[in-house]
Amino acid sequence: MDSGRLTWRQDERMTNAAAATLGVLVTSLFVTPLEVAKWRLHAHAQGQTLPSFKKPTTRNASLNTFFVFSDGRFGRTNPKSTTRVHASPVEPPPIAFTRRAPPPIYLRGLSHALGHILRTEGPAALYAGHMAILVVALPSTVLSFISYDVLLARMTMTADHPAAAALPFFCGSVSGCVAAVVAAPLELPRVRMYGTSFVNTLVRSVARDGVFSLWRGLLPALARDVPFSTVYWGVYELLKSQMHTSLLPQSNDSMVVLGDAFVAGAAAGAIATSFVHPLEVVRLKCQAQFATSNKSRMFLRTVEAIVQVEGLGGLMKGWSARAAQVAPACAIMISTYEASKQYFRNTNDA
């Protein structure tokens, strides 16, 4: 009896891992073009030097941790292969002086940038650095989702009814910690790569600075990922249970599960972003204005400065743009994960 139960649990974990892997792959197909376009728009506005997108490599990708792929950081560039992107306007590559150059191109927004890259560089350019994104996102997301499901299932068996409502928040915080801890060693060698492989960079970093140096950026990652994960999972489980009790009945059909999870995931992602976004605004202001100040006073001083100048709305500046990317990514990830789990479960039971 015990061996059969153990085998079933092992099969369930393997199924969850496969479902999470599929979710990461599907989500990355949606997120990567947006990240490439955002990166190009950022360089357009700042007049930065960008790597060429014609030969995608892991060194010119915009990487993100956690399954929402949305911390807003930009990847490092490869100095051996660069093209100049001018702030105003974006100039085309040089052509022979005997031919008339086409007019300069202005990138007017995300959709225009996506269309311009697709027309001028081809579909492959929209997935520049796709594998580099998966290097970080795949292990951290899979382990995060498995840890959440396992911990929630075990704690639900022993918790009383009043405490059960708070379990998704607690389990979400733990899964956020898992994601940050797993992603940190992968992020550090990634940002140091210049003309060498990922594994070689990892080995050289450990040899030079020690094993624990791989987690030097862990605290900022925890401050970013744990609050989001806590709110996201708690709100998601609450919305999903409300949908099942008041709107839609519980179903074992994979497509019904996909629809429920998509709606609840999108709403939970937007709500979690509204909680975390003010912290991100303050963090970025701290880095830009008070780099040399006392860190214990930095946060409150920055909040006070933002509220005095811009009001409370200043803490939510840029939220709509972030939520517009985070909510669909969360919806795609969680709906693919839940529907895949249900499909595998139905297949095993058949």
Cut 0.75: pTM above it: no
Which residues fall within 8 angstroms of residue 340, CB to CB, at 6 or more apart?
A: 18, 19, 22, 23, 254
Nearest to 133 by CA among 197, 199, 97, 186: 186
291-328: b or e for each residue (b if 16 or more CB lie within 10 Å)? eeeeeeebeebbbeebeeeeeeebbbeebeebbebbbb
Are the C-beta atoms of 66 and 140 separated by less than 8 Å? yes
In whole angstroms, give the CA distance from residue 112 to residue 283.
Answer: 30
User: How large is the average pLDDT for residues 231-248?
Assistant: 85
> Regarding predicted confidence, which is higher, 89 or 25?
25
Write out the DSSP string of 292-326: TS-HHHHHHHHHHHHHHHH-GGGGGTTHHHHHHHH
Please report the domains of the chain, with CATH numbers, ordered by start residue.
Answer: 2-349 (1.50.40)
pLDDT category at 73 given cuts 50, 70, 90 is very low
Q: Hey, which bits of 5-110 come out as E strands?
A: 49-51, 82-84
Q: Who's near 279: CB < 8 A, 6+ residues apart? A: 223, 224, 227
pLDDT of residue 205 exceeding 70, the answer is: yes
Residues 6 or more apart whose CB falls under 8 angstroms from that of 342 comprise: 252, 253, 254, 257
Q: Residue 228's pLDDT is what?
A: 94
| Calpha distance 189→213 (Å, rounded) | 10
Confidence of residue 91 (pLDDT cuts 50, 70, 90): very low
What are the pLDDT digits (tens) for 44-65? 665 544 444 444 333 333 333 3
Place of tokens 């003309």: 195
Q: Is a pLDDT exceeding 90 seen at residue 192?
A: no
Percent of the chain clearing pLDDT 70 (strictly above): 67
Task: Give the pLDDT band (50/70/90) at residue 197.
Answer: low
C-alpha to C-alpha distance for 100 and 103, rounded to whole angstroms: 9
Q: Are 226 and 173 in contact (CB under 8 A)?
A: yes
The number of helices, as runs of H, and strands, as runs of E, in the chain is: 10, 2
CA distances from 291 to 120, 132, 188, 224, 348 (A): 40, 30, 21, 19, 55
What's the pLDDT at 249? 60
Average pLDDT over residues 256-276: 91
Q: Where are the beta strands (DSSP E) in the chain?
A: 49-51, 82-84
Instruction: Answer yes or no: is pLDDT of 331 > 50.
Output: yes
| Whole-number pLDDT of residue 87 | 40
pLDDT at 177 over 90: yes
Highest average pLDDT, of 53-57, 111-115, 118-122, comes from 118-122
Report yes or no: 346 and 278 within 8 Å, Cβ to Cβ: no
